[in-house]
Each structure stands twice: as structure tokens, then as C-alpha cells.
């Protein structure tokens, strides 16, 4: 019958269009994948940020002590940020050391 062949042809055309769109979409996703940062890279970038905060804190303290800046609010905010960042860094360091010590205690 003519109706069956037309319907079958439309179905096959739609299936081909869907497959070509799907293959194009998957290739687009594969191209956009970004490399995953390793633990070392993440840790290093975090330490650099903490160091930058500490340097900024010191420069603001020196500026305030020299009388160049009178903005006490910004100075106190920076002191708190740097202190919190240092506390978090030492907490992460302590957890890493505790994990390492647990690994060295294990017997294989």
C-alpha cells in the first residue's frame, strides 16, 4: 500500500535526522570537555590564594601603620579573611597528616 510506504519513508527520514542530530550533539560534548584538575593543582592554587591574602593583609597593616590609609573597616575585614583562610589551611593540613598517619599504620 502507498500509505504504508509513505509512513515508513517518513519514519526512516525522522530516524536518520535524529541519529545525525544525536551524533552531532555527542561530538560537541566531547569537544567541550575540560581537563579535570588534580588534587595537587587544586591544593597549590588554594595555597597561592591564601598566600596572596596574607600578603594583602600585611600591606594593608603597613599602610595603616604608616598613616597612608585610615579605612579601619577594610583592614579588619582583610584581617579576618586572612585569619580564616589560614585556619582553614591548617585544618586541611592536619586532616591530610592524620590521613597519612592512618595509612602508615595499616598493615598489608
Domain ranges of the chain: 1-33, 39-105
Q: Where are the alpha helices (DSSP H) in 36-71?
A: 39-65
- Residues 42 and 108: their CA atoms lie apart, in Å, by 30
Q: Which of 22-31, 32-41, 59-68, 89-98 has the lowest mean pLDDT?
A: 22-31
pLDDT digits (tens, 9 = 90+) for 26-62: 555 555 556 678 888 888 999 999 999 999 999 999 9
pLDDT recorded at residue 1:
46
pLDDT recorded at residue 32:
55
Helices (H) and strands (E) in the chain, counts: 3, 0
Whether the CB-CB separation of 55 and 77 falls below 8 Å is answered with no
The pLDDT > 70 percentage for the chain reads 78
Amino acid at each position: 500500500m502507498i500509505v504504508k510506504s509513505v509512513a515508513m519513508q517518513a519514519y526512516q527520514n525522522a530516524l536518520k535526522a535524529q541519529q545525525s542530530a544525536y551524533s552531532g550533539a555527542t561530538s560537541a560534548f566531547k569537544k567541550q570537555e575540560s581537563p579535570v584538575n588534580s588534587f595537587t593543582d587544586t591544593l597549590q592554587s588554594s595555597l597561592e590564594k591564601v598566600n596572596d591574602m596574607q600578603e594583602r593583609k600585611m600591606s594593608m597593616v603597613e599602610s595603616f601603620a604608616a598613616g597612608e590609609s585610615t579605612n579601619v573597616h577594610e583592614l579588619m575585614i582583610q584581617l579576618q579573611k586572612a585569619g580564616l583562610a589560614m585556619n582553614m589551611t591548617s585544618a586541611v593540613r592536619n586532616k591530610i597528616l592524620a590521613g597519612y598517619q592512618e595509612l602508615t599504620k595499616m598493615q598489608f
